């Protein structure tokens, strides 16, 4: 009887902590005792492990068995420690060779019959194992495809404790999982909807194109039935394709939440998260005793769509202000700080009043106070973080029945990709991925205004009562418009169009 240890992994938010699962089997009263700052579900592993080992055909000796999960200052949660606990015990009693798990990380949940079940958070765990120099990961068979997304580390997928033991004793050979070729394929770009479905609203579609090309936040305001939601829900059809690094970054978040597809775990399309107005702050930004990512992190790299914006609770909208500026969310708990990525495009849609018909006074049945109260649910600081605000007019009958061809999403997406390529080349070797991420210093470097442009911006600043934040937003949008035009210099016409996207909010909220 002896001491042994097996390496496993624990998740703290999106951060991974490697855990040493130690087992000591010695003479004494028969017991199975576990220590190491354990949550209730980890403490319950003792009975699962003992039963699973017995049903795998191994009889544990009537000895004192002590399990320690180290380091002791890290809270251990979840069921992913079952398999490493079982293997550490089997190492201690000499059932499997002492050196069989060197350089190996083990993760998995056990059922009572010895079967191995999938767990969440495999991708970040395997990525961390590779970074720390481990050469092999033993995972549940259902998680093997996800683990194989990481290059340079061997993934062994297993289904039963018997199978693991036989493999470690070299009685059988398990072929390591390899990355599926399908995972390397570019996204198909096939969608059930397309911008060619929308008749009219060319100005609004242009605003959506600019928003996607530069990563800008977009607010659509107009009467019911004008196509606001239709336009917003077609934004995924013009989003630029993901790079391999972006795909892994997004898949990592979805892995922690247990939302990856078992057969095709790599996410190859940018996420589009549509949030209902009854959502809570915790659901939006993440939360819990041990914070997990919320909707804004699930929208990382893609779009967060808030329909019926004015129906959201005001405190829920206000928590978006910080992540919209910093592109990440920070949550503080007594036992630590958690940082989740939140670099997304905010697309929002709303009516201008409770009945939706303002400012058409012939149709609007709302009082002045009702309109003011309704619009007042959206604060000025929140509006300042919206780059593009555009009015969506009601659709005319002629637009619905015209035979004039409208642009498809594929055509718009080509222009978006071209503009994004210009930005990638411009901001190479920096943290900036799109124009919307430019800081004040970068704006001074990449948006140089001539005399006429300075005069225009000064006039707009005074007449529209712009804040410093909205002034910089206009410059960022103008930089994107210039990129779509293939212009290196931001000119008056680019600024004029960018300024026009800041006049609608003044029309409604500047009353």
Per domain, the residue ranges of the chain are 3-179, 195-430
- The two tokens of residue 85 are 């606990």
State how far the Cα of 146 lies from the Cα of 49, in Å rounded to an integer. 25
pTM given for the model:
0.91
- The two tokens of residue 228 are 């606001």
- The two tokens of residue 8 are 């496993």
* 3 SS3 class: strand
State how far the Cα of 118 lies from the Cα of 258, in Å rounded to an integer. 10
The CATH superfamily of 195-430 is: P-loop containing nucleotide triphosphate hydrolases (3.40.50.300)
Q: pLDDT tens for residues 213-266?
A: 999 999 999 999 888 999 999 999 999 999 999 999 999 999 999 999 988 999
How high is the pLDDT of residue 289? 73
State how far the Cα of 187 lies from the Cα of 194, in Å rounded to an integer. 16
- The two tokens of residue 184 are 């390397």
How high is the pLDDT of residue 181? 44
How high is the pLDDT of residue 189? 53
Is 361 a residue whose pLDDT tops 90?
Answer: no
Which segment of 112-121, 313-322, 501-510 scores lowest on mean pLDDT? 501-510
* 134 SS3 class: coil
Average pLDDT over residues 177-203: 71
Length of the chain: 511
Cis peptide before 413 (omega within 30 of 0): no
How high is the pLDDT of residue 2? 83
The secondary structure of residue 39, as a DSSP letter, is: -
What is the percentage of the chain residues whose pLDDT exceeds 70?
Answer: 95
CATH topology identical between 3-179 and 195-430: no
Beta bridge partners of 287: 292
Q: What is the DSSP string of 454-509?
A: HHHHHHHHHHTT--HHHHHHHHHHHHHHHHHTT-SS--HHHHHHHHHTTTHHHHHH
Buried b (16+ CB within 10 A) or exposed e, 75-99: bbbbbbbbbbbbbbbbbbbebbeee
Q: Which CATH number fits domain 3-179: 3.40.630.40, 2.30.38.10, 3.30.230.10, 3.40.1440.10?
A: 3.30.230.10
State how far the Cα of 23 lies from the Cα of 152, in Å rounded to an integer. 29
Average pLDDT over residues 48-62: 94
How high is the pLDDT of residue 470? 93
User: Half-sphere exposure of 356 toward its Cβ, with a 13 Å CA cutoff?
Assistant: 16
Is 171 a residue whose pLDDT tops 50?
Answer: yes
E strands in 141-263 = 154-158, 218-221
Average pLDDT over residues 192-201: 87
Is 12 a residue whose pLDDT tops 80?
Answer: yes
How high is the pLDDT of residue 136? 97
Q: pLDDT tens for residues 400-434?
A: 666 677 889 999 999 999 999 999 999 999 999 99
Q: pLDDT tens for residues 367-408?
A: 989 999 999 999 999 999 999 999 998 877 666 666 677 889
- The two tokens of residue 59 are 């009889």
Is 463 a residue whose pLDDT tops 80?
Answer: yes
State how far the Cα of 383 lies from the Cα of 196, in Å rounded to an integer. 30
State how far the Cα of 484 lies from the Cα of 52, in Å rounded to an integer. 61
């Amino acid at each position: 009887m002896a001491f042994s240890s097996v390496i496993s992994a624990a998740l703290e938010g999106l951060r991974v902590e490697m855990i040493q699962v130690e087992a000591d089997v010695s003479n004494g009263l028969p017991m199975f005792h576990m220590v190491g700052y354990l949550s209730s579900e980890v403490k319950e592993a003792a009975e699962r492990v003992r039963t699973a080992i017995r049903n795998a055909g191994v009889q544990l000796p009537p000895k004192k068995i002590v399990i320690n999960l180290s380091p002791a200052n890290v809270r251990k949660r979840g069921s992913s420690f079952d398999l490493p606990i079982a293997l550490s015990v089997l190492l201690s009693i000499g059932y499997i060779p002492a050196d069989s798990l060197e350089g190996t990380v083990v993760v998995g949940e056990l059922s009572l019959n010895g079967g191995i079940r999938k767990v969440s958070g495999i991708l970040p765990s395997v990525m961390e194992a590779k970074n720390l120099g481990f050469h092999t990961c033993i995972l549940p068979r259902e998680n093997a495809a996800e683990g194989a997304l990481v290059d340079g580390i061997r993934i062994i997928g297993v289904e039963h404790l018997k199978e693991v033991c036989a493999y470690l004793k070299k009685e059988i050979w398990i072929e390591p999982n390899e990355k599926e070729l399908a995972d390397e394929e570019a996204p198909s770009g096939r969608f059930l909807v397309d911008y060619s479905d929308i008749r009219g609203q060319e100005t609004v579609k242009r605003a959506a194109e600019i928003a996607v090309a530069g990563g800008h936040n977009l607010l659509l305001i107009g009467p019911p039935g004008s196509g606001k939601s239709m336009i917003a829900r077609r934004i995924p059809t013009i989003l630029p394709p993901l790079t391999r690094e972006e795909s892994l970054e997004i898949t990592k978040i979805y892995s922690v939440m247990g939302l990856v597809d078992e057969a095709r775990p790599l996410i190859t399309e940018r996420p589009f998260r549509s949030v209902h107005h009854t959502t809570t702050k915790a659901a939006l930004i993440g939360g819990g005793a041990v914070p997990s990512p919320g909707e804004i992190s699930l929208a990382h790299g893609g779009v967060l769509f808030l329909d019926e914006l004015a129906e959201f609770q005001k405190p829920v909208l206000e928590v978006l202000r910080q992540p919209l500026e910093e592109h990440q969310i920070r949550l503080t708990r007594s036992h630590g700080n958690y940082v989740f990525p939140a670099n997304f495009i905010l697309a929002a849609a709303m009516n201008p009043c409770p009945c939706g018909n303002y400012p058409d006074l012939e149709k609007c049945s709302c009082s002045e106070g009702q309109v003011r109260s309704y619009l007042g649910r959206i604060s000025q600081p929140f509006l300042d973080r919206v780059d593009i605000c555009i009015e969506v007019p009601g659709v005319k009958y002629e637009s619905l029945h015209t035979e004039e061809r409208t642009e498809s999403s594929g055509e718009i997406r080509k222009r978006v990709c071209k503009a994004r390529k210009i930005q990638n080349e411009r901001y190479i070797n920096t943290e900036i991925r799109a124009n919307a991420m430019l800081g004040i210093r970068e704006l001074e470097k990449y948006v140089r205004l001539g005399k006429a442009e300075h005069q225009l911006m000064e006039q707009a600043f005074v007449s529209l009562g712009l804040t410093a934040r909205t002034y910089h937003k206009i410059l960022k949008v103008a930089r994107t418009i210039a990129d779509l035009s293939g212009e290196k210099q931001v000119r008056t016409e680019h600024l004029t169009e960018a300024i026009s996207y800041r006049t609608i909010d003044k029309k409604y909220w500047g009353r």
